[in-house]
Homo-oligomer: A and B are copies of this chain.
């Protein structure tokens, strides 16, 4: 079963709703940056493209923040969504696969916003071991399990080639990580209760291709 379509087990909130939360969070952050501190669901609808009633329904799942006739307090709603998304928690993370993609991810500034801290990269390539990306060292993948246990690492990121992704995911689980962020273009076969978020670049590319085909009939 594709994890992208799981539902939230306890609250029965559909993954479709949950996947919209980061978008609300982003748009509210933009409003804050512009100094706007109050917004109606109608205005939010214009910004996001969701209907006003969908917005009210979505946010009601988490307690309902708006007030009739006033709308939403932007700062409050932004803060609450941040808490719901767990952005107030801090997690230690490591990356396995220290090629270009791993290095790009290690450099990714969005980590700090999400409360993730990358402690180390791992690779098996002797030419990479010992190098540093910003202040993050690339270590031998053979030392990864010990490092994870000793440093309370909770998140394992996979930027390895497809062929080694399954084995590395199992190594992560054996070492005790709580969640995996997978960039390898493959379906990981893992215990159902493991939290896995896949970044599927090829699916995104296929969608781009679809719209080109549809518009230009190529």
Beta-carbon nearest neighbor of A197 in chain B: B208
Give which listed residue, B100, B107, B210, contacts A21 with CB less than 8 A: B210
Size of interface on A: residues with Cβ below 8 Å to B = 69
Interface residues of A in 186-215 (CB under 8 A from B): 187, 195, 197, 199-215
Q: Chain B residues near A46 (CB, 8 Å)?
A: 1
A210 to B110, CA, bound (A): 15
Determine if A91 is an interface residue (Cβ-Cβ < 8 Å). Answer: yes
| Shortest beta-carbon distance from A156 to chain B in Å | 11
Chain A interface mostly helix, strand, loop or mixed? helix
Task: Report the bound CA distance from A214 to B86 in whole Å.
Answer: 8
Query: Which A residues between 2 and 47 are near B, CB-CB below 8 angstroms?
Result: 2, 4-6, 8, 10-11, 18-19, 21-23, 25-26, 30, 46-47
Say which residue of B8, B85, B100 sits within 8 Å of A103 (CB atoms): B100
Instruction: Please name the residue on chain B nearest to A46 by beta carbon.
Output: B1
From B111, B209, B212, B214, A205 is in contact (CB under 8 Å) with B111
- Please name the residue on chain B nearest to A208 by beta carbon: B197
Binds B, one of A70-78, A112-120, A142-150: A112-120
Give the residue name and chain of the B residue nearest to A114 (CB). B205
Which stretch of A122-130, A166-174, A177-185 is in the interface?
A: A177-185
The reply to whether the CB of A96 lies closer than 8 angstroms to some CB of chain B is: no
Given contact pairs A104-B101, A107-B100, A206 touches B89 in the complex (Cβ within 8 A): no
Which residues on A are within 8 Å of B, measured CB to CB? Answer: 1-2, 4-6, 8, 10-11, 18-19, 21-23, 25-26, 30, 46-50, 84-87, 89, 91, 99-101, 103-105, 107-108, 110-111, 113-116, 154-155, 178-179, 181, 185, 187, 195, 197, 199-216, 218
- Known contacts A85-B206, A100-B103, A181-B205; 6 further A-B pairs (Cβ under 8 A): A5-B49, A86-B209, A89-B218, A91-B209, A100-B100, A100-B104
Can you pick out 13 interface pairs between chain A and chain B where the beta carbons lie within 8 Å of each other?
A2-B48, A19-B207, A22-B202, A30-B187, A86-B210, A86-B214, A91-B209, A110-B202, A155-B208, A181-B204, A195-B208, A197-B207, A199-B204
